[in-house]
Amino acid sequence: MNSPNKKTVCIAGASGLVGSNITRAALLKGYRVNGTLRDITDPKKVPFLTALPGGDRLTLFNADMAIENDFNKATRDVDGLFIATLIPTYQGPSGMLGKDMNDEQGYQEIIMPTVNGCLNIMRSAVANGVKKIVICSSTSSTNPIPSVSIKNEVDHWSDPNEQCRAKKYTSAAKTVMEKAAFKFAREAGVRLSVIMPTGMFGPVIIPEHMERNPHVWLKRLIGGGIGRHEQVPNDSTSMSHIHDLANLFLAAYEDPKANGRYFGVYSSWHWQDIYAEIKRILPQMQMPMPITDDPKPVTQFDFTRRDSLGASFRNIQSCLRETIEWIQANPFDEH
C-alpha cells in the first residue's frame, strides 16, 4: 500500500456497485476518501464500506444529488471528485415505466433528474475549488445512427431524440447528462473525464449488489437454474471486471492529460460465445436454447484512448471465471 498521506478524494455514490469499488481501490492506494450515500446509518451498506482495508481513512457523508448544495460538505478540501451516483432509472416516481411514458414525462421523470443531479454535485465541487472530476456514464451514449463498424469515444454519440423516440429514456439520460457535464466543465475550467462501462463482473462489496445482473443470473446458473436468457440472444455485449474499471477511474483522475470520454469495457463477445465459455467453467450448467440464425457481428471498439491511461485489463475468459469462482465461494455467508 502507498503512503496514507495522499490527498483526499470524494466519491459520490460510495455505496453503489461502481462507487464502492472506486472507494476500495482509492483506499488501497492510500487516499483519504469522503464517501457519500443517502443514509450513513444504513446497516446493509455502511459496515461493508467501513470494513474495507484502509477504512479508517474513509469518512461518510449524507448527500442526495436531488438537493442543491447537499454535496458542499463532502467536496470541501478534496482534490478530485468521482460521480458514481447516476444509476439507471427505468421508471418515474409514480412507478410508471419509461416505455409507457411520453417524451415530456420521460424528460421530466427520468432524464432531467440524472442531468440536474450530476450538475448539482459538480456545482458543489467547483464552489469548493475542485478541478478534477470523473463521471461514470454508460456505453449507451455511444450508439450513433446509422451504426458504425468500430466505435470510438470522440466521434460517436447517441442521438437523444432517437433514443426518446424508441422510449429509451434511461439511455438518453446518459447522453444528455454527458453533454451538459462537458459544457459545465468547460465553463468552470474543470478537467472532466467520463468513463463508459456496460456489464460489470467481479467481486461486489455490498451484498445487495448480488441481486442484480450479472451476479444474480450467474448465481442461478451455478445452482442449476436458468441464466439470463431462455434463448441465446443473437447479439453481442461488452463487459469489464469491476476492479479493472475502478482502477481506470483512478487512472483518469491521476493522469493530468486525461480528459473527455473513455470506454470502460473489454471487447464485445456474442452471447453464444459467452454461454459457451461459462459452460466450460460450469460443465453441468443449464444452457439456453441456441440461436437459429447466423450470428450477428459483434460490436467493435477503438480502445486507443482507453489504453492511453495505462490501466491493465483482464480478458473476458478470466473475468467470467473469476466472477463465477468468487460467487461459488459464498463470500457473504458469514453475514
CA atoms within 13 A on the CB side of 20: 21
Provide the 10 A C-beta neighbour count for residue 297: 11
> Whole-angstrom Cα distance, residue 55 to residue 23?
9
Q: Which three cell numbers stand for residue 154?
A: 470522440
Q: Which three cell numbers stand for residue 282?
A: 460450469
CA dihedral 64, 120, 34, 206 (to 10 degrees): 50
Phi and psi for 57 in degrees, rounded to 5?
-100, 10
> Whole-angstrom Cα distance, residue 193 to residue 22?
15
Q: Which three cell numbers stand for residue 97?
A: 415505466
pLDDT at 333: 81
Domains of the chain: 8-200+238-267+300-313 (3.40.50.720)
Cα angle for residues 302, 307, 311 (degrees, 5° grid):
145
pLDDT at 5 over 70: no
Q: Which three cell numbers stand for residue 63?
A: 448527500
Q: pTM for the whole thing?
A: 0.95
Q: Which three cell numbers stand for residue 210?
A: 448480488
pLDDT digits (tens, 9 = 90+) for 130-186: 999 999 999 999 999 999 999 999 999 999 999 999 999 999 999 999 999 999 999
112 contact partners, CB below 8 Å, separation of at least 6 = none
> Whole-angstrom Cα distance, residue 189 to residue 253?
15
CA-based nearest residue to 218, from 139, 276, 282, 283: 282
pLDDT at 54 over 60: yes
Higher pLDDT, 280 or 1: 280
Quick one: pLDDT band at residue 4, thresholds 50, 70, 90?
A: very low
Q: Can the peptide bond before residue 214 be classed as cis, meaning omega within 30 degrees of 0? A: yes
User: CA distances (Å), 133 to each of 115, 244, 326, in order?
Assistant: 15, 19, 32
CA atoms within 13 A on the CB side of 86: 34
pLDDT at 71 over 70: yes
pLDDT at 220: 95
CA-based nearest residue to 180, from 247, 107, 253, 128: 107
Q: What is the mean pLDDT of the chain?
A: 95
Helical (H) or strand (E) element with 11: strand 8-12
pLDDT at 6 over 90: no
